[in-house]
Amino acid sequence: MSQRKVSFVSGEYYHVYNRGNSKQKIFLDENDYLRFIGLLFVCNSSKNFKIDNFSKKENLLNFLRDKEIVNIGSYCLMPNHFHILITEIGEGNISRFMQKLSTAYAMYFNKKYQRSGSLFEGKFKAEHASSDKYLKYLFSYINLNPVKLIEPKWKEQGIKNRAKFLDYLNKYSYSSYQDYIGKTRIENKILNKSMFPEYFINREDFEREIFDWINFNR
């Protein structure tokens, strides 16, 4: 069995991600996105649970969980993959969290769509945010992922309509973008912003950083 190249250290920041096996979609409808988002909250607990204990319509964000095992700073779900910016609380807890998350979602997905076999493309991948500059970059990269859904070639052609671009990001609820522009929603409880550098003081500061990143990466 292959070993992950990145070793996790408490207090360090990591970008973890994975995609569907053979690049297949892992979110087929809104309920799939909502289930995964709920699991981001539920699985971040020292308390174990059985997936069968939750009904299909139950909002997992109302679950009374135990002590957190990781800190989540940002996330984004795309049709066939996901991104999470994370730190661990205690040795081995990123791997523990990701195993709980991946297993619980795969069980939900396979049961719902009457399928079997691996849902994800092997083990989750991880990158160490080894510098302050790279960590700040990851906040923009992760939260801007949805732009690809409306402008796949934005890096080559730029953002043609800034208002449309911002409106789409503001309405895209399957990422932490809305949490950084100050929208009040139950998903806010997934994040532990206090455990990450305070790069963005307000909404204007966050959006300015987003567009600076876009201009730099063209």
How would CATH label the architecture of 14-128? Answer: 2-Layer Sandwich (3.30)
Alpha carbon separation from 59 to 17, 63, 102, 119, 180 (Å, rounded): 24, 8, 18, 23, 22
Mean model confidence pLDDT for the chain:
88
Say what the pLDDT of residue 164 is: 83
Q: How far apart are CA 68 and CA 47, in angstroms?
A: 9
Arithmetic mean of pLDDT, 82-108? 95
Say what the pLDDT of residue 1 is: 41
Give me the residue spans of the domains in the chain: 14-128, 132-216
What angle is formed at CA 192 by the lines to CA 162 and CA 210, rounded to 5 degrees? 15
Confidence of residue 17 (pLDDT cuts 50, 70, 90): very high
**pLDDT (tens digit, 9 = 90+) per residue, 160-203?**
777 888 889 899 999 999 999 999 999 999 999 999 998 888 88
| Pairing label, strands 14-19, 125-128 | antiparallel
Arithmetic mean of pLDDT, 15-38? 96
Q: Is the model more confident about 217 or about 107? A: 107
**Is the overall model pTM greater than 0.75, yes or no?**
yes
Arithmetic mean of pLDDT, 135-154? 88
Q: Which residues pair with 14 in a beta bridge?
A: 86, 128
DSSP the chain: -PPPSPPP-TT--EEEEEEBGGG--S--SHHHHHHHHHHHHHTSSSS---GGGS-TT--GGG----S-SEEEEEEEEETTEEEEEEEESSTTHHHHHHHHHHHHHHHHHHHHTT--S--BSSSPEEEE--SHHHHHHHHHHHHHGGGGGT-TTHHHH--S-HHHHHHHHHH--SBSHHHHTT---GGGGG--GGGS----SSHHHHHHHHHHHHHHT-
Say what the pLDDT of residue 50 is: 72
Say what the pLDDT of residue 165 is: 83
